[in-house]
A and B are shown apart, each in its own frame.
Chain A
Amino acid sequence: MSGRVIVITSGKGGVGKTTASANIGVALANTGASVCLVDMDIGLRNLDILMGLENRVVYNLVDVVEERCKLRQALVKDKRMPNLSLLPAAQTRDKTAVNAEQMKKLCEELKSMFDFVLVDSPAGIESGFQNAIAGAEEAIVITTPEMSAVRDADRIIGLLEAQKDQITQYRLVLNRLRPKMVANSDMMGVEDVLEILSVKLLGVVPEDEEIIISTNKGEPVSGTDNTRSGLAFRNIARRLRGEEVPFMDLDVKNDTWVTRIVNFFNPVRV
Chain B
Amino acid sequence: MQILDWLFKVPTGATPGTAAVTAKDRMRNMLTHDRLELPAGKLEVLEEELTAVVARYFDLEPDTTRFDLKQIDRKAALIANFQLVRSKC
Chain B minimum-CB-distance residue to A255: B11
Interface magnitude class on chain B? 20 to 34
A residues within 8 A CB of B21?
185
* Pairs of residues from A and B, 9 with the lowest C-beta to C-beta distance, nearest first: A185-B18, A255-B11, A185-B20, A198-B74, A192-B24, A186-B19, A255-B13, A196-B27, A154-B31
Whether A198 contacts B13 by the Cβ 8 Å rule is no
A residues within 8 A CB of B14?
185, 253
Binding site for B on A (CB under 8 A): 147, 150-151, 154-155, 157-158, 161, 180, 182-189, 192, 195-198, 253-257, 260-261, 264
Q: How far is the CB of B31 from chain A (nearest CB, A)?
A: 5
Q: Mark B11-42, 1 if CB is under 8 A from A, else 0.
A: 11111001111011011101100110000000
Q: How far is the CB of A105 from chain B (nearest CB, A)?
A: 32
A residues within 8 A CB of B3?
264
B residues within 8 A CB of A150?
27
Tell me the dominant secondary structure on chain B's binding face. Answer: helix
B residues within 8 A CB of A188?
20, 23-24, 27
Bound-state Cα–Cα, A186 to B74, Å: 26
Bound-state Cα–Cα, A253 to B20, Å: 12
Can you list 18 A-B pairs, Cβ within 8 angstroms, ordered by A?
A150-B27, A151-B27, A151-B31, A154-B31, A157-B74, A180-B6, A183-B6, A185-B12, A186-B18, A187-B19, A187-B23, A196-B28, A198-B71, A254-B13, A255-B11, A257-B11, A261-B7, A264-B7
* Any A CB within 8 A of the CB of B48: no
Chain A minimum-CB-distance residue to B27: A196
Query: With contacts A184-B6, A186-B18 known, is A256 near B11, CB below 8 A?
Result: yes
Whether B24 contacts A196 by the Cβ 8 Å rule is yes
B residues within 8 A CB of A192?
20, 23-24
